[in-house]
Amino acid sequence: MSNSLIQVIGNVASDIRFNSTAEGIPVASFRLAATERKFDRALSRWVDGDVNWYTVSCWRALAENVTESINKGDPIFVVGRLNVRTWERDERTGISLDITAELIGHDLSRGTAKFQRGIKVMSEESSTYAA
């Protein structure tokens, strides 16, 4: 079991970047925005809070299918391991919340989906992952 397991419901906030490692392993990544809900005592009800931003990565068949299936703006859920990473560029530093996804899908409370089994072969290099 991972030490920081996270489940996020949010909206895809970037295009999907698809790539392959030197060994030919497919990897996809994208930005995910999740609006927090918090209880407003004065109003006695739940209201929108801040937005949490994540960078989601996924691998192999999941990477290929996500690239084929998910578009900027889609409401999705992600389950995976959270890794907090500090970055430096030029004179700026920041923190990135990286999720290595084990499970990704569209949130069917917010729309409909037409599903097709198997994966589309995206390149010859990754064809060994085709089902």
Which residues sit at the interface with its own copies, rule CB under 8 A? 1-10, 34-38, 49-50, 52-53, 61-62, 65-66, 68-71, 73-77, 79, 81-85, 94-95, 97, 102-120, 131
Closest to its own copies by CB, 52 or 125: 52
d(CA 85, CA 112): 35
Q: Please, what is the minimum distance in Å from the beta carbon of residue 124 to its own copies?
A: 19
Rounded Cα gap, residues 119 and 131, in angstroms: 6
Smallest gap, in angstroms, from Cβ of residue 76 to its own copies?
Answer: 7
Give the other-Cβ count within 10 Å of 2's Cβ: 11
**Which CB, 22 or 124, lies closer to its own copies?**
22
Q: Alpha carbon 40 to chain centroid distance?
A: 29
